[in-house]
Structure 1
Amino acid sequence: MSQQDSDARATSAANTCEIVERRVGAVTVIEVSGTVDMITSPQLEAALTSAMTGAPQAIVVDLSAVTFLASTGMGVLIAAHDKLPATTPLAVVADGPATSRPLDLIGFADVLNMRPTLDEALSAVTS
């Protein structure tokens, strides 16, 4: 294997994002893992758009397993927040330097109803 092939595989692996959507009662939970950057943020946008069409009671985006959150990913979260009806709350699970720190530094933590755990996020959107 050439160095170029090895570098291409490393770049591809670094830009991996996995998204799983599930329901917890009437709440849609979008679990995200890996890297959310310019390359993978369209996946998150598509998942949020799909979740919104189902008219959930609320949406929780769980970033607990995200290892890198770029500004494009944060922009997708803000855009989703802005598109949701006022009656459909959104919460984001983020705890750690890769997710909560950038969201907090930019001032998005309060806007996105950031919580450190999934249980706390679910409580926040259902109470």
Structure 2
Amino acid sequence: MTNTSGDAHPLADAMTTSVSVHDEATVLTVAGEVDLATAPALENAIEATLGSKPPVVIIDLTQVSFLASAGMAALVGAHKRAGETTRIMVVADGPATGRQLKVTGLDKVFAMHTTLDGALTALHQN
């Protein structure tokens, strides 16, 4: 069924997530716009990813074109839910993601990297 009325959640499909596993890290790749309409879907994807209690979750935001405060709140929520059992790393670069995370100080909360390869390399060095 297709919603053509344009009233329910017209931007609900503006963001996609996918999960993959690289060694001991579970990678949640996010693409599109993370805003007030799509942040709940991001929170659900993060919750599902954390559910299996992986040792490391890398949230890859390099394909995100817009990151609103609701998206940043979802990242903070992920950090709180992960607790001591799961290490959270964030991959973000450029004006759409990296700059916002630095301006808000969230780059001090998360281990941030500019590429997924960089995050995976750092993981193996620790």
Structures share fold, TM-score greater than 0.5:
yes
Count of residue pairs brought into register by the alignment = 120
Q: Which sections of structure 1, spanning at least 5 residues, go unmatched? A: none
Identity %: 39
Q: Tell me if 1:41 matches 2:36.
A: no
Q: Tell which structure's C-alpha radius of gyration is larger.
A: 1
Show the counterpart of 2:105. Answer: 107
Q: How has the CA–CA distance of structure 1 residues 85 and 125 changed in structure 2, closer, same or farther, with 3 Å as cutoff?
A: farther
**Contact 1:18 1:34 (C-alpha < 8 Å) held by counterparts:** yes
Write the mapping of 1:1-127 to structure 2, written as runs, cut at 5 A.
Answer: 12=10, 16-126=14-124, 127=126
Which has the higher mean CA deviation after the structures are superposed, 99-108 or 110-119? 110-119
Aligned in 2, Cα 1:15/1:96: closer, same or farther, shift over 3 Å? farther
AA at the equivalent of 1:47? A
Q: Distance in 2 between matches of 1:38 and 1:98?
A: 16
**C-alpha separation in 2, matches of 1:97 and 1:89:** 25
Contact kept, 8 Å, 1:90 with 1:125, in 2: the verdict is no
Higher helix content, 1 or 2? 1
> What TM-score do the two structures reach when normalised by structure 1?
0.85
Unaligned runs of 5+ in 2: none
- Offset of residue 80 of structure 1: 0.6
TM-score normalized by the length of structure 2: 0.86
Q: Tell me the distance in 1 between the aligned counterparts of 2:12 and 2:78.
A: 25
Deviation of 1:100 (Å): 0.3
Name the Cα RMSD after superposition.
2.1
Other structure's SS at 2:59 match: strand
Q: Matched residues in 2 for 1:89 and 1:119: separation?
A: 17
Structure 1 segments of 4 or more deviating over 6 A? Answer: none
Q: Distance in 1 between matches of 2:53 and 2:46?
A: 11
Letter in 1 for 2:38: T
Indicate if the aligned counterparts of 2:11 and 2:38 stay in contact, CA closer than 8 A: no
In structure 1, C-alpha distance between the alignment counterparts of 2:83 and 2:11, rounded to whole Å: 36
